[in-house]
Structure 1
């Protein structure tokens, strides 16, 4: 067993042995679990893909004269202003008002909150329109301006749900093409969409949350960040396979970090026809190897991770919870799977290459002594599951 202090001393002296979750698989196979656990100090995990439940808190600083903002738009994307005078929250999936794409192609949106966030990280100027009712203290009723990320006080990315531990694979049983957040799906089970980094993904390498918890340090699109809470819809009671890896959506993470320190390569606005807009993020999380059991979790392979296949023409919109079958990430990444006795092409909304780059960038920072690991302030909940919307909220009596 190694302590976190032991590992950090090696990191600070630039002697830490660090591997990505991809590299460590073959290394453990060659060296054996016990010997590898003695040698390896940190394994880096990562993912890159659309993460809808994301956004940014911003403080603009006070205008002269002051304004208490009650409604605001940035590049014609509405932001939430019910926080304080000049504090705003920009959600990644908020749509641009009168998006011209939607005027010509119903259901298609080219621009939204995720794209505004990308523009800010790239250092571009954005347009602000804000209004208020005016008070003695805050007399200004309207404000038109522009700003860049460097010109505002704070911009703190605060994401209620990122890094799903496993996720759906989507198919379409109907006789027409349908558009979903996992991409366009051909009729009659003609294609399959998915989104996960599989064997690189953080929570799939820590299936029982032994290392990743509330307060864990993360690499959030290049910026130092933390896990501030279990993510919304965190469902650790999801069914699991023989290896302990969930075979359904399970754990999630609430993440936060400083937008001003982020790398635009890993912050990308996304437009998904028939769904709307989102934000693709790169997230990397170090797993300190304190013992063999922790390392064993990091040796999960794509062939051992089974994704639930859901019919997005019927079962997903009706929220039936029905799973047609399971397919491995090894098959998904090959570009086709055998489904119902036929070959079905697969397509991913996540990028394994970008995830691997994020894992390597974090590994380089750790080797250079620039990123240490820590013990979580509290563990992620190990029991519980999310529920459908209560009937009362749906108007059902």
Structure 2
């Protein structure tokens, strides 16, 4: 439950009258992520709440319009962000499937991926040397913080010789003041046949403290690999199998080869926006509007050493 006057709004919460997937594939036109975007954009939303009465809180219902400026505090809390590498999704089944990785055509006719590759924060600090509890970050157009490793954080996966994971690995839990943020960097998302969500602009500064970090941050798309996973059958049936590996350079080229077949690719994250975030964060640092700091505590990391690979 929630304490009095506190409101929790989930980014994936659908509208009360949404038919969901009863009319398949559902469109999920408006959900929690869209409400958050509207609030940050300065729009007014309708609040409706019901509860039981107590001696100190007699009202059992509330219905009013409000905007972000009416709220004394508003925090954006994300328990899992900045996934360190993720699957390339395909569909080997005979029917179209709608997933959190987007719509996948049958018989492996398209492939979707989700990462900024060489610009992705955790791929530039694969062992979490500079990122941890208290790290100051760019979040949604404002300043936020890493509050711990995120859900599904799993550093103990197969890695390249340079330390880069070849499978989904680390994640970050992040938080920031919603009132500082911008609708340019927080956008409600509708995933056909799956649900609604929130696209979040995220940037993490990585100070070059030594040769190891310089090596890590020099990683390029051709050095970063991910696995190709079938979301039409294997994923939904929890079958742990992949159909090879592809580099982000191949993914960004617009075409990969899977099972001997040329397959067109499309990203779910924006490379253009990633560059803009990096340039914005760089400008903030140069203008002394953003200060770097050491993490208070480090994430659980992998038992990996570059010395062992030499």
- Both structures adopt the same fold (TM-score exceeding 0.5): yes
**1:225 maps onto 2:144 in alignment:** yes
- The yes-or-no answer on 1:271 pairing with 2:190 is yes
Where 2:269 maps in the other structure, the secondary structure is: coil
Number of the residue aligned with 2:35: 116
**Could you tell me which residue of structure 1 aligns to residue 210 of structure 2?**
291
**Partners of 2:225 and 2:246 within 8 A in 1:** yes
Maintained 8 Å contact 2:46/2:65: yes
Q: Which moved more, 1:200-209 or 1:374-383?
A: 374-383
Structure 1 pair 257/310, CA: closer, same or farther in 2 (3 Å)?
Answer: same
Q: Distance in 2 between matches of 1:133 and 1:263?
A: 36
**Which stretch has the larger CA shift, 315-324 or 203-212?**
315-324
Structure 1 residues 132 and 101: CA distance shift in structure 2, 3 A: closer
For residue 166 of structure 2, the aligned residue among 226, 247, 251 is: 247
- Tell me the distance in 1 between the aligned counterparts of 2:189 and 2:43: 17
The structure richer in strand per residue is: 1
Work out whether residues 133 and 299 of structure 2, in 8 Å CA contact, stay in contact via their aligned partners in 1.
yes
Determine whether 1:376 maps to 2:309: no
How far did 1:101 drift?
7.5
Which structure 2 residues correspond to residues 349-364 of structure 1 after superposition, within 5 A?
Answer: 349-364=268-283
Instruction: Tell me if 1:153 matches 2:56.
Output: no
More helix by share: 1
Distance 1:176 1:100, change over 3 A: closer
Aligned pair count reads 303
The residue number in structure 1 matching 2:46 is: 127
Deviations 1:282-311 (A, max 9, x none): 101001111121111111100111111100
Distance 1:263 1:360 in 2: 17
> C-alpha distance in 1, partners of 2:25/2:244?
33
Between the aligned partners of 1:271 and 1:162, the Cα distance in structure 2 is 18
1:285 to 1:318, Cα distance in 2 relative to 1, 3 A: same
d(CA) in 1 for partners of 2:194 and 2:84? 22
Task: Kindly state the Cα deviation for residue 104 of structure 1 after the two structures are TM-superposed.
Answer: 5.0
CA contact (8 A) 2:150 2:171 kept: yes
Q: Is the 8 A contact 1:109 1:276 kept in 2?
A: yes
The separation in 1 between residues aligned to 2:126 and 2:223, in whole angstroms, is: 13
Which structure has the larger Rg? 1
Q: CA deviation at 1:321?
A: 2.2
Once the 2 structures are TM-superposed, how far is the Cα of residue 146 of structure 1 from its aligned partner? 0.9
2:86 to 167, 173, 178: 167
Change (3 A) 1:295 1:383: closer
Contact 1:101–1:110 (Cα < 8 Å) also in 2: no
What is the CA deviation profile of residues 58-78 of structure 1, one whole-angstrom value per residue up to 9, with x for unaligned ones? xxxxxxxxxxxxxxxxxxxxx
Task: Name structure 1 gaps, 5 residues minimum.
Answer: 1-81, 385-397
Aligned residue for 2:178?
259
Number of the residue aligned with 1:202:
121
Query: What corresponds to 2:252 in structure 1?
Result: 333
Q: Residue 180 of structure 1 aligns with which residue?
A: 99
2:273 match: secondary structure = helix
Aligned-residue offset at 1:100: 6.0
What secondary structure, in the 3-state scheme, does the structure 1 residue paired with 2:294 have? coil
Q: Distance in 1 between matches of 2:57 and 2:82?
A: 41
The question of whether the paired residues in 1 share the 8 Å contact of 2:14 and 2:28 is answered with: yes
Instruction: Give the CA deviation at 1:136.
Output: 1.2
Aligned-residue Cα RMSD (Å) equals 1.4
1:338-349 equivalences under 5 Å are 338-349=257-268
Name the CA distance, whole Å, in 2 between partners of 1:355 and 1:139.
Answer: 49
Alignment partner of 1:119: what SS?
Answer: helix
- Whether the aligned pair in 2 keeps the contact of 1:211 and 1:376 (CA below 8 Å) is yes
**Residue 130 of structure 2 is aligned to residue 211 of structure 1:** yes
Structure 2: tracts of 5 or more residues without a match? 304-310
1:85 maps to 2:9: no
* Aligned mates of 1:292, 1:155 — CA distance in 2: 40
